[in-house]
Structure 1
Amino acid sequence: MHILRALAVALLLAMTVGSQARAQVAEKPVDIPTRGGVTQRMLVLAPPDPKAAVVLFAGGHGGLQIFPNGSMNWGTGNFLVRSRQLFAEQGLLVIVLDTPSDRQTPPYLQGARQRPEHVADVKAVIGWVRETAKVPVWLVGTSRGTQSVGYVATELTGADGPDGIVLTATIVTDPRGRAVPAMPLEKIRVPVLVVHHEQDACSLCAYSEVPGLMRKLAGAPRSHLLSFQGGQNRGDPCEAFAHHGFNGLEREVVRQTAAWITAK
């Protein structure tokens, strides 16, 4: 009986693993033209009948260097990058954004997230997604990726801009440049979701500064703060496996984020 029971458990585990493998949404690298002679590479995950699209902006320098087979040279541990399948499981079309073809070497996007060229590239991505899937397009950034998303949302409006944005682990202070709260956020006229870990120990992302960020979103038709506690905290406090990267909370963070994005 013990042998039969062990075999039954093994079969159940095998079936579970198999079903999880089948649930994985295929990933496809796509290149689109943006500015003159420049292309933008992205990794696309397209579940059937998506409810909305999320364009994911990694933190750091942003240079994922996505290879033609879909693998990456950098950034696989980034909160948004490692959670891309979780977003697809929620019925969202997922676009993982790399740096453009003219920024595939250091410093990648460092110093360039708030430049017209970056806005032009993201505008092309938004247009491609709208033409391809005809669903609302949301920009989702984490850490330094929030500086991309916040800036683009202040520069692109209407048909050119996103339908909403999500700021996770927002850069709220930055001695090397303009933090998100220092941007003209009052210009944003789309819904804004802010997601932050209350124990984020990164010096650029103190939770105590988040209320000031929320007050600057008064022009948005809908804004909300999702705050989290707990999970795991490992390594550099500004890296992806500390509280800064919602380590151990990924599935719940994505679930609540997706629910807010798709709420009627």
Structure 2
Amino acid sequence: MDIPTRPGVTQRFLLLTPPEAKAAVILFAGGHGGLDIQDDGRFGWGGGNFLVRSRDLFAQQGLVVAVIDKPSDLAGLSGQRQTAQHVADVRAVMRWLRAQYQLPVWLVGTSRGTQSAAYVATALAGDADSPDGLVLTSTILTDSKDRPVPAMALDRLALPVLVVHHEKDGCEHCRPSELAALMDKLPGTLRKDLVMFSGGVTRGDPCGAYAYHGFNGIEQDVVGRIGAWIVSR
């Protein structure tokens, strides 16, 4: 799908529509976020990303799925995830999903995708277009380049938040020991939960898609837990 967003700009996303859906999710991949989705649905980059490769598992949970790409005026999302332009692009996708399906829309990010999901949620807090919920997986907890999630205006949030992490995540920006700071920043009035996973297989870059960071080998369990949490809200 390509929909108009800012003047002269379109936003592309891959859409999955299961029958009798209960909610919709927008999936934000990590890295530079430039998935380069082709007209036939193939991915030019990022097909192995945890959320991207698990998209069918989300649909099997009864969720309409929008795997979001970069907008047409950018080569990627590096340095762009915490901008008004990114908020406008995601807002356009949320509005489109709500108009088409009349369902609650959740933002689901992984790794650097959590910086997108969390920033958009904070930017739209109190707005009519605010997302209905937020899921953060392998959250960016520390970062010297772009503001990490715990440093965002999380106190503005008034929506359910699920945090999902692997107890052996080896990524330098996502150390499990930093999770307490994130949970403490989320308002106590929120419906919030931290779910830790173990097991699976790790290989390659500890910040990569097939390390513990990417829930390699336990995708079905992780997505099943996320899906159940979303539909129970």
Q: Where does residue 199 of structure 1 map in the other structure? A: 168
Cα distance in 2 between the residues matched to 1:35 and 1:219: 35
Cα distance in 1 between the residues matched to 2:130 and 2:8: 23
Alignment of 1:80-229 (within 5 A): 80-103=51-74, 105=75, 108-157=76-125, 158-218=127-187, 221-229=190-198
Cα distance in 1 between the residues matched to 2:175 and 2:38: 35
Cα distance in 2 between the residues matched to 1:46 and 1:231: 29
Alignment RMSD (CA, Å) = 0.8
Greater relative contact order structure (CA < 8 Å, 6+ sep): 2
Secondary structure at the aligned position of 2:128 is classed as: helix
Gaps of 5+ in 2: none
Secondary structure at the aligned position of 1:172 is classed as: coil
Larger Rg: 1
Q: TM-score, normalised to structure 1's length?
A: 0.87
Q: Where does residue 72 of structure 1 map in the other structure? A: 43
Cα distance in 2 between the residues matched to 1:212 and 1:224: 14
Structure with greater proportional helix content: 1
AA aligned opposite 2:77: L
Cα distance in 2 between the residues matched to 1:77 and 1:241: 8
Q: TM-score, normalised to structure 2's length?
A: 0.98
AA aligned opposite 2:224: R
Cα distance in 1 between the residues matched to 2:146 and 2:40: 35
For 1:91-143, what per-residue CA distance to the aligned partner results, in whole angstroms no more than 9, with x for missing partners?
1000000000001x2xx110000010000000111100000110110000000
Identity fraction in percent: 61
The correspondence for 1:60, drawn from 27, 31, 38, is 31
Runs of 4 or more above 4 Å deviation: none
